[in-house]
Amino acid sequence: MQTILITGCSSGYGLETARHFHANGWSVIATMRNPSAAPFATSETLRVLALDVTDEDSIAVALELAGPIDVLVNNAGIGLFGALEHSPMQKIRDVYETNTLGTIAMTQAVIPQFRERGAGVIVNVTSSATLASFPLAAAYTGSKTAIQGFTRSLAHELLPHGIAMKLVEPGYGPTTAFAQNTDIRLEDVLPEPYGSYAAPILAAMAEPELSTTEADVAKAVWQAVHDQTGQPHFPAGADALALVA
C-alpha cells in the first residue's frame, strides 16, 4: 500500500483529495495546523497530523511521525484578494510564507528520503491564476506563479533521482472555504476608487459561468500522481481547462 502526505487538509481541496486517495486504497496522512478540528474518521490507513508549513520544527516532527511516504502533495495555502495599494505588507508576507516558502520547505524536507529510495512524486497545487491574469489578486498570483517556476526548474535536478515533480492548477472554487482563511475584510482592501472597479468583478465571481469543485482537484491530483507520460501540468476544473484551451 502506498502512502501519500497531503498538506492543508482541514477543508476544500486538501480534504477531498485525502478522502479520494483513501477511498481508492491508499494510506493517507492528512495534515493541518489544528488536528483537533479534523473532519475525518481516522483509521489504520488514514492518520491526521499537526503541521504548520511555515514552521521548520513542525515540518520535521510531522515527517518523523509520518514515516516513509511515496507522495507529497503541497496543497496548504492562503488567499488574499483586493487592491495591492491597500493590502497590508504583513498579510502579503504571510501569503508568501505559506504558499511559496511553505511549499519549498516541504519539498526540500522530503527530497532526501525520495532520493535515497530512487522514487517519489511531489505534486504542487497552484492556481489557474498562473494560467491567465486575474484582477485584484496580484500578491496571491505572485505567490503561486513563483511555485510554477520553482517546480519546473527543480524537476530537472530531481528527475535523474527518480523523483517526479507535478503541477495541479485549480480554477475558481466558490464552494471551498478558501476566502475564509484570511482575516482581511473586503471593504478594507477595496476602498474607493477600487470599490467601483471591483463591483462587477465580485458580481461575476458570485455567479461564475465555469468553476472548479473539490472533486475536480482531487481527480487531477490522482492523475498527476499516476501519470507515466511525463506530463507536468494538470489543470483542474472546467474554468481552468477552458483557460488552457
Beta bridge partners of 236: 170
Mean pLDDT, contiguous 10-residue spans, the chain (245 residues): 97 97 98 90 92 98 98 97 97 98 98 98 97 96 98 98 98 77 81 95 93 97 97 96 93
- Are the C-beta atoms of 121 and 168 separated by less than 8 Å? no
Between CA 17 and CA 233, with CA 49 as vertex, the angle to 5 degrees is: 30
Question: What's the rounded Cα separation, in Å, for the pair 70 and 15?
Answer: 19
Instruction: Map out the domains of the chain with their CATH numbers.
Output: 3-244 (3.40.50.720)
Location of C-alpha cell 477552458:
242
Q: With contact defined as beta carbons under 8 Å apart, do 143 and 100 qualify?
A: yes
Catalytic machinery residues: 140
Q: How many CB atoms lie within 10 A of CB 218?
A: 24
160 CA to centre of own chain: 25
**Neighbour order of strands in the sheet with 3-6:** 46-50, 27-32, 3-6, 71-74, 120-125, 163-170, 233-236
Please choose, from the candidates 68, 65, 48, 64, the residue with its C-alpha nearest in 3D space to the C-alpha of residue 8. 48
CA dihedral 157, 70, 20, 58 (to 10 degrees): -90
- For residue 125, the surrounding DSSP H or E stretch is strand 120-125
| Closest CA relative to residue 30, chosen from 81, 71, 90, 84 | 71
pLDDT of residue 176: 83
3-state secondary structure of 170: strand
Check residue 52 and give its pLDDT. 98
Q: Which residues pair with 125 in a beta bridge?
A: 168
